[in-house]
Structure 1
């Protein structure tokens, strides 16, 4: 029997340094999917490695995959006159890339695939109700200005999916209620963390790593690091965290910002305005391996987002033994325990600063074991194995039906 083909559709270059939860989830799927599947990715590229529009066999996370870049985009996580999602969708309209299984991580491309045959899965990575609220941070998403258009598209494309997975329980409930005819296809699915990459150090190793980084940055050895990692984007609201740093009383605390995006210049301007250049370091985009090192040595990871699904960086921090401070958004408040993080009651710089102080002042209240225990149910190997087992069951059932119908 031939191997069934799984094709993943998402507008990113898997070999770039771009940080993002969707990118990480896709890489984890490729890493842990069993060899019984042939793996393909339809993406983009930040530099011209291969000819756009032509399948190439390449290596990703130790696996042989077939990769097809639709176009070259020099900079990911930036704004442009024509959004990359629009360019990506338009390119799909000119092709037929149907396969046995198709995974989609954005809604827009599925407009082009409604008539493609095959088993299709939609992964929803955010709480769409919060995402398109007019009161949400301006500029966070284009659909915020056209919610009726978004839901009109959604109504057209939803019937094509065999499964709809949401990493956010509120979002999963919303879709079940909005589309009762397809409620049995909608399920909550945990986002994943690769514990091969994100793991905790011993107490001695963590202190040594903190001191080594402090020395390399010209800081005092007793410096304790606050970490932010993700797109510099209105959704993530890093400016709120910058403003919290101006309030933070702990002079030994230093903020590391890993990531890139359209808010980079406004962030630099705010750092200068608040005279915080000696307390904040912007690191730019980092390879996953470098981010993992920072997660292991940070004293606290901060999520300042306006809305979320279930941020993978939160799972990575917990798996690394690092406690979380978060605004009240997405699934994160549901998975944290009192020993693994603090949820801000208000979305203000004062509340965020107070929560960070709470963790820094009493690190013994947030032990490594409590953090890693909170991350265990999200280990990628088990979750991907379960998803693929369901796929293979459907595949084998279809094969039997096809043989019987001959």
Structure 2
């Protein structure tokens, strides 16, 4: 029997250093794909590379087929025309059907309405918070036309055989809003790659912390607070900088790992608050570098306006680092009392107070507790369970290979 084919659709290049939860999920689904499956990814390419054709390549030691629909220089930054619009337009008129099809944004599924295959939609945010009028209008264009988004969703949702949400409230919302597909909606844990994100022994952690302080020209006793993610209105990095300023602790240094359209505004805010010597903007970093930063940081801070379950929270916890977060997404439900703290108001002072408490009472948030909190989300386990379910459905259907081959 031939191998079932999984084709994943998302607007990124897995070999670039873009930071994002969706990208991390897809990387895990490639890395931990069992040998019973053939995996394909339809994404974006490097400038001047070939587009619209399958390329046999390798990612994380796994052989895959990769097709860039178009080339882009930096997938961390939105252009005048949203990347999702470009990606959807590039898919229209194509037939890229396969046995299993994974989508991580709704809009591109317009192209797949008549494609054969077992289709899965991954929902990565709490859509009610995401479109809420109270959040920044810069975060998502659909915030200007919420009725239009839900009309499109209602039109497209029935094509999916499986709908995964990493947020319990979002999963409940879809089950209630679309009773015809309620049985297909399932809560799915987000994942962390424990082969990359793991804690250091205290002595080695201290050594690495001092080394980074030395590399940055900072006092040896400097402690680090980390933020990692897109510099995008959803993550609200301006609020993060203001919270750090409100904390006003000269022994702390804020590390910002990531890039995006708000990078210039973040730099301006840092300068306005006279924090240039106390904040380092690192830009996009590799997963290996990000893991090192997690391991030597005293805390990880998330200032988001809305979320699903941020992968970076799991990465911090798996690295033994406590988390301070705003009250959004799944993180407040995930965090235990000994692995982090929630700021229930999205204000600089509330976040600063929560962060200050965690830092002043570090003994209450030991690395072992943080790691234990993240263990159920290990990528190998979660992803393997999804693939087992897919393989079971594949064997149940017994679809002839010739049907799929017409569009492959």
TM-score strictly above 0.5:
yes
Partner of 1:229: 228
Partner of 1:22: 22
SS at match of 1:7: strand
The 5 Å alignment of 1:283-362 reads: 283-362=282-361
1:112-135 deviations in Å (ceiling 9; x for gaps): 101101100000000000000111
SS at match of 1:371: helix
**Is this contact kept in 2: 1:111–1:153, CA < 8 A?**
no
The 5 Å alignment of 1:326-405 reads: 326-399=325-398
**Is this contact kept in 1: 2:165–2:171, CA < 8 A?**
yes
SS at match of 2:398: helix
**Is this contact kept in 2: 1:18–1:76, CA < 8 A?**
yes
SS at match of 1:68: strand
1:145-173 deviations in Å (ceiling 9; x for gaps): 11011111101111110000000000000
List, as ranges, runs of 4+ consecutive aligned residues in structure 1 with deviation greater than 3 Å. 400-403
**Is this contact kept in 1: 2:137–2:144, CA < 8 A?**
no
Partner of 1:176: 175
Instruction: For residue 400 of structure 1, report the CA deviation from its aligned partner.
Output: 7.5
Instruction: For residue 291 of structure 1, report the CA deviation from its aligned partner.
Output: 0.5
Separation (CA, whole Å) in 1 of partners of 2:158 and 2:401: 23
Out of 169-178 and 75-84, give the one that drifted further.
75-84
SS at match of 2:345: coil
Instruction: For residue 250 of structure 1, report the CA deviation from its aligned partner.
Output: 2.1
Separation (CA, whole Å) in 2 of partners of 1:402 and 1:105: 26
Instruction: For residue 319 of structure 1, report the CA deviation from its aligned partner.
Output: 0.2
**Is this contact kept in 2: 1:46–1:76, CA < 8 A?**
no
Separation (CA, whole Å) in 1 of partners of 2:54 and 2:256: 36
**Is this contact kept in 2: 1:240–1:349, CA < 8 A?**
yes
Separation (CA, whole Å) in 2 of partners of 1:189 and 1:127: 13
Partner of 2:60: 61
How many residues get paired? 402
CA gap 1:10/1:239 in 2 versus in 1, 3 angstroms: same
Instruction: For residue 281 of structure 1, report the CA deviation from its aligned partner.
Output: 0.3
1:338-386 deviations in Å (ceiling 9; x for gaps): 1000001211000111111111111111000110000001000011111
1:20-68 deviations in Å (ceiling 9; x for gaps): 11001100111111010000000002433x4100100011111010000
Separation (CA, whole Å) in 1 of partners of 2:73 and 2:335: 37
Please report the TM-score for the alignment, with normalisation by the length of structure 1.
Answer: 0.97
SS at match of 2:353: helix
Out of 77-86 and 340-349, give the one that drifted further.
77-86
**Is this contact kept in 1: 2:101–2:120, CA < 8 A?**
yes
Separation (CA, whole Å) in 1 of partners of 2:79 and 2:282: 23
Separation (CA, whole Å) in 2 of partners of 1:374 and 1:191: 13
SS at match of 1:292: helix
Separation (CA, whole Å) in 1 of partners of 2:186 and 2:19: 26
Separation (CA, whole Å) in 1 of partners of 2:289 and 2:45: 21
Unmatched tracts of structure 2, length 5 or more? 403-408
Separation (CA, whole Å) in 2 of partners of 1:235 and 1:183: 28
1:172-192 deviations in Å (ceiling 9; x for gaps): 000000001110000000111
Matched, 1:261 2:260: yes
Separation (CA, whole Å) in 1 of partners of 2:265 and 2:181: 43
Unmatched tracts of structure 1, length 5 or more? none
1:326-348 deviations in Å (ceiling 9; x for gaps): 00000000010110000012110
Separation (CA, whole Å) in 2 of partners of 1:207 and 1:362: 18
Separation (CA, whole Å) in 2 of partners of 1:79 and 1:100: 32
Matched, 1:84 2:83: yes
Matched, 1:160 2:159: yes
**Is this contact kept in 2: 1:226–1:299, CA < 8 A?**
yes
Separation (CA, whole Å) in 2 of partners of 1:394 and 1:249: 56
Separation (CA, whole Å) in 2 of partners of 1:34 and 1:315: 23
Matched, 1:138 2:159: no
**Is this contact kept in 2: 1:224–1:252, CA < 8 A?**
yes
